[in-house]
Chain A
Amino acid sequence: MDAQTIIAKRIAQELRDGMLVNLGIGIPTLVSKYVPAGLHVYFQSENGLIGTGAPPPEGMHHPMLTDAGGKPVTALPGAATFDSAMSFGLIRGGHLDMTVLGALQVDASGLLANWMIPGKMVPGMGGAMDLVTGAKRVIVAMQHTAKGQPKIVKRCSLPLTSVRPVDLVVTELAVIGFPGGRATLLETAPGVTVEQVRRATEAELAVSERVSTMAL
C-alpha cells in the first residue's frame, strides 16, 4: 500500500455517520474514496457546495459545478449550494464536524503551518485559516517527512495557520495526537517501529501506553 493510500484509509476511519466534512486538495481529497460502508457523510467544498460527489463521467461535466480546485464534481442526492458567506459561516460557525488538510509543518503542541514559505512560495491561505480556526475537529494528512526532513518539528519556523492546535496527524508511518498539548504517538503503520517514527520526527514524542498498529 502506498503512503497516500495508508493515510487516506486511516483518516476515513475517523468519519462518523451524518458528519459535515471538508477535505483539502491533495491527499485529503482521497479520503472520500474510503468512506466506510453504510455511513452517510456530507462533504463540503468551500466554493459553495454540500454533497460533493465523485467526478462525473467523461463528457458529462457541468462548467458551474466544481470543487474548490475548480475541478468538475457531481452533486449527490440531498446536495445544497450556497454563496461564500454561507460557506464560511458553516466553517467558522461550529457547523463543520471535521476538516482534513495538508501541512508543511506541525509542531510539538499541534500548531500547524500550511500556507506559505516566505520568499519562496506564497500561494495565500485560501480557506485554511478559517477551517483550522472553526472546524470542530482538525486532522492533518501528510507524508511524515519532506525530502528526508521531519515535518513534525519542535517549533514551526513557517508562519502559523492558526493558534488553534490540530487534533490528529496521520502520516504513512504513524497516528499522532496532542493530549495535554503534547505530541503523542498513538498508532504505528503496519511494519513500522516506534523507533522508526521517533527518528523521522524532530519534536519530542510521547508514546501512548496503548500504542497500537493501524488497522487498515
Chain B
Amino acid sequence: MKTILLKDAVALIPDGASVMIGGFMGVGTPERLVDELVRQGKRNLTVIANDNALPGIGIGKLISAGAVKKTIASHIGLNPETQKKMLAGELEVDLVPQGTLIERIRAGGFGLGGVLTPTGVGTVVEKGKQRIEVAGKPYLLETALRADFALVQAFLADYVGNLYYALTARNFNPVMAMAADTVIVDAENIVPVGVISPDQVVTPAPVVDYIISHA
C-alpha cells in the first residue's frame, strides 16, 4: 500500500477504464475521488455501482459531466439524467438485480467464474443466460464481474492499509475492494496501526493499493 495525492490517484485512471465505485445512493461513495474524476475531465468510463445516486451527488456527478459511457447498476430510478441519457442512446445501461450484482462482484474478487442464483429465472433478466438445474431447482448462471479500478470509501484506514467501515456506508465497498486490479481508498480517518483491532479489520491491507493522502 502507498499513500498518494488525490490528483495523482485519479491520473492513474485512463479514459475508457472500468471503475467500480462503492456507495448506496451516495452513502459510502468516495466523493472526493468522484469530484476529481470530473475535474480531470475523464471520458468513456464504465461505472459499476449499485445505483446512479441523484444529480449532484456521488456517481450522479459523473453522469452529469458526461464521463460515463456505460453503467452496470441495479437501480437508476432516482437519477432522471441517467434515464434521459439512456433513452436518448447516449448512455448504455445494464440493469442487474442488486443481489446478483453484488454476487457477481464477489465472484470476481473471490476467484469464482460466477454464481447460480434463482433471482431472475423466468423474467427478462434470464435473456441470453444459461439456466442450470441443481437438485431439481432452476438457477441462472451469472458470471463474475471485475474492473480495472475500485474506488472505495472507508471510515478508518490504518497506516498499513487495513480498513474498517461505518454503518450503512459499508454496502458495496468491501466487496469491490476485492474485485479490481487497482484499489484506491479514500478514508474518513487515517489512524495508527492497532486502532483497528485484528478482529475488526474488514478489508485486510494487502488488497489495498493506494490510500488518498490527507496531507
B-contacting residues of A (Cβ < 8 Å)? 45-49, 62-66, 68-70, 75, 81-85, 87-88, 91-92, 121-130, 133-134, 159-163
Instruction: For B102, give its contact among A63, A68, A88, A121 (CB under 8 Å).
Output: A88
> Residue on B with the closest CB to A47?
B24
Known A84-B172, A85-B103, A159-B124; contact A64-B76, beta-carbon cutoff 8 A: no
* Interface residue ranges of B77-92 to A (CB < 8 Å): 77-78, 83, 86-87
Q: How far is the CA of A109 from the CA of B117 in the complex (A)?
A: 23
In contact, B117 and A92 (Cβ under 8 angstroms) = yes
Q: How far is the CA of A64 from the CA of B156 in the complex (A)?
A: 13
In contact, A88 and B99 (Cβ under 8 angstroms) = yes
Cβ contacts under 8 Å, A84 to chain B: 24, 50, 98, 102, 171-172, 175
A–B pairs, 19, beta carbons within 8 Å:
A48-B168, A70-B25, A70-B27, A70-B54, A81-B168, A83-B171, A83-B202, A84-B98, A85-B175, A88-B102, A88-B103, A91-B99, A126-B51, A126-B77, A128-B97, A129-B123, A130-B119, A134-B99, A162-B123
Instruction: For A88, give its contact among B93, B98, B166 (CB under 8 Å).
Output: B98
Cβ contacts under 8 Å, A75 to chain B: 167
In contact, B125 and A81 (Cβ under 8 angstroms) = no
* Interface residue ranges of B25-54 to A (CB < 8 Å): 25-28, 50-51, 53-54
**Proximity string of chain B (95-122) to chain A, C-beta cutoff 8 Å, 1 when within and 0 when not:** 1011110110010000000000111111
Q: How far is the CA of A63 from the CA of B29 in the complex (A)?
A: 11
In contact, B100 and A130 (Cβ under 8 angstroms) = yes
Instruction: For A124, give its contact among B54, B75, B122, B166 (CB under 8 Å).
Output: B75
In contact, A66 and B98 (Cβ under 8 angstroms) = no
> Residue on A with the closest CB to B50?
A84
Cβ contacts under 8 Å, B118 to chain A: 92, 133-134
The total of Cβ contacts below 8 Å across the A-B interface reads 145
Cβ contacts under 8 Å, B99 to chain A: 88, 91-92, 127, 129-130, 134
Cβ contacts under 8 Å, B53 to chain A: 70
Known A64-B155, A68-B24; contact A129-B171, beta-carbon cutoff 8 A: no
In contact, B168 and A49 (Cβ under 8 angstroms) = yes
Known A81-B167, A124-B73; contact A64-B95, beta-carbon cutoff 8 A: no
Chain A interface mostly: loop
Closest 9 CB pairs between A and B? A123-B77, A70-B25, A88-B99, A130-B99, A163-B122, A64-B169, A126-B75, A124-B75, A129-B97
In contact, A122 and B86 (Cβ under 8 angstroms) = yes
Known contacts A49-B167, A66-B168, A133-B120, then 18 further A-B pairs from the complex at CB < 8 Å, ordered by chain A residue: A65-B168, A69-B25, A70-B54, A70-B78, A83-B165, A83-B170, A83-B173, A85-B106, A88-B99, A123-B76, A124-B73, A126-B75, A127-B97, A130-B119, A133-B118, A133-B119, A162-B119, A162-B123
In contact, B167 and A62 (Cβ under 8 angstroms) = yes
Known A126-B75, A130-B99; contact A70-B170, beta-carbon cutoff 8 A: no
Q: How far is the CA of A46 from the CA of B100 in the complex (A)?
A: 13
Cβ contacts under 8 Å, B202 to chain A: 83
Q: How far is the CA of A49 from the CA of B27 in the complex (A)?
A: 13
Q: Please indicate which of the listed interface residues A81, A84, A125 has the most CB atoms of chain B within 10 Å of its own CB.
A: A84
In contact, B95 and A125 (Cβ under 8 angstroms) = yes
> Residue on A with the closest CB to B98?
A127
- The answer to the question of B182 belonging to the interface, with a C-beta cut-off of 8 Å to chain A, is no
